[in-house]
């Protein structure tokens, strides 16, 4: 028995269970892997935050430089759409027939005051021997039927640009409405009643020039037609007078040609698609509620190579040679 004990003690004490030698190494590797993952995530998050802060703090110059430095991307060539007539909402740019306003031009104090009181005032129109009146433009065609150019209630209203026209940028044709406040159509009264004076050829020959003063410049216009037009659809003689832009020369000449063919006078003034048009419209009091007759004074702007004196002489000479007469007037009744 003692020999057995000595043999056991000689072999030394051996524990019953021993941990595998590789286990501590695997534990260290797992811990190291976790630590590396944590560090990688921290670096990624930190870089993202730093990048966001850097983008927020970039100056406009740095952004412009970055844009310029970016390589240009090639775009696929666009295929041309089929040729179709553009919708009515599109506008064609006007040819550069008219030079920009001169820098030394300054509106007078009365016009500047009017513009400061009501920013919707487009300018001031002068014609004939009547007092100048302001023209306004707004987003509807009803307000200035019962308000003056300064926004005060007035049954005589004010001259206003049709809301379907664009002033900035300017349409080819600006249509301006105004009341005829004279039931006899005699040419005496307020608003656009005075336009009826131009149905007298002597008066038209004496005052053929219309002057429009705006905040930007002074524009001069000359009449090319004075028709009477029915504006109620379905009535004899109806014609749609609200046409602000023209998408072909043919459309332009159809519009202006209708007015010239139905004009009270055959005026020696030509019109071209590159012209700027200004059309004044006022009602004709004929005692009937079924019709909506309008007297139109159709104007075109003087071109850069034309002068006021030349256009006055052109019309006065034509009237003197041709002895044009007014068409017979209807017998108008009081409304």
Q: Are 332 and 185 in contact (CB under 8 A)?
A: yes
163, with CB counted inside 10 A (0-12, 13-18, 19+), is middle
d(CA 160, CA 118): 13
Flag the least confident range among 46-60, 161-175, 222-236, 316-330: 316-330
Q: Residue 270: is its pLDDT beyond 70?
A: yes
Give the model's pLDDT for residue 327.
40
112-158 pLDDT, tens digit per residue, is 999 999 999 999 999 998 899 999 998 999 999 999 999 999 988 99
Asked if residues 230 and 293 have their Cβ atoms less than 8 Å apart, the reply is yes
In 3D space, the residue among 159, 165, 198 whose CA is nearest the CA of residue 179 turns out to be: 159
Q: What are phi and psi of 141, to 5 degrees?
A: -105, 20
The model carries a pTM of: 0.65
Which percentage of the chain shows pLDDT scores above 90?
A: 46
Average pLDDT (49-73) is 52
Per-residue pLDDT, 41: 73
Lowest mean pLDDT: which of 8-17, 194-203, 269-278?
8-17
Mean pLDDT in the chain?
76
* Half-sphere exposure of residue 104: CA atoms within 13 angstroms, side-chain side: 0
Q: Which residue has the higher pLDDT, 9 or 40?
A: 40
Structural domains in the chain? 109-322 (2.40.260.10)
pLDDT confidence of residue 37: 76
Please report the pLDDT score of residue 284 as a whole number.
85
């Amino acid at each position: 028995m003692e020999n057995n004990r000595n043999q056991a003690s000689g072999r030394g004490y051996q524990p019953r269970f021993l941990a595998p030698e590789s286990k501590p190494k695997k534990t260290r590797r797992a811990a190291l892997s976790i630590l590396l993952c944590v560090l990688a995530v921290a670096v990624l998050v930190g870089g993202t935050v730093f990048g966001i802060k850097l983008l927020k703090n970039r100056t406009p110059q740095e952004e412009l430089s970055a844009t310029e430095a970016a390589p240009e991307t090639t775009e696929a060539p666009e295929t041309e759409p089929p040729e179709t007539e553009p919708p009515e909402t599109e506008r064609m740019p006007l040819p550069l027939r008219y030079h920009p306003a001169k820098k030394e031009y300054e509106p007078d104090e009365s016009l500047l005051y009017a513009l400061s009181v009501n920013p919707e005032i487009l300018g001031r129109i002068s014609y004939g021997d009547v007092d100048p009146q302001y023209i306004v433009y707004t987003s509807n065609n009803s307000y200035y039927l019962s308000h003056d150019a300064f926004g005060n209630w007035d049954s005589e209203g004010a001259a206003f640009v049709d809301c379907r026209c664009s002033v900035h940028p300017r349409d080819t044709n600006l249509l301006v409405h105004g009341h005829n406040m004279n039931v006899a159509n005699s040419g005496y009264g307020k608003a656009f009643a005075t336009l009826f004076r131009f149905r007298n050829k002597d008066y038209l020959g004496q005052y053929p020039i219309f002057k429009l003063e705006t905040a930007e410049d002074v524009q001069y216009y000359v009449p090319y037609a004075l028709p009477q037009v029915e504006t109620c659809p379905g009535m004899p003689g109806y014609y749609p007078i609200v046409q602000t832009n023209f998408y072909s020369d043919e459309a332009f000449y159809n519009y202006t040609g209708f007015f010239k063919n139905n004009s009270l006078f055959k005026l020696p003034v030509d019109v071209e698609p590159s012209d700027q048009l200004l059309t004044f419209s006022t009602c004709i009091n004929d005692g009937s509620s079924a019709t909506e007759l309008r007297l139109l004074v159709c104007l075109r702007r003087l071109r850069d190579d034309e002068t006021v004196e030349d256009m006055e002489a052109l019309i006065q000479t034509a009237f003197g040679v041709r002895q044009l007469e007014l068409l017979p007037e209807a017998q108008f009744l009081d409304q």
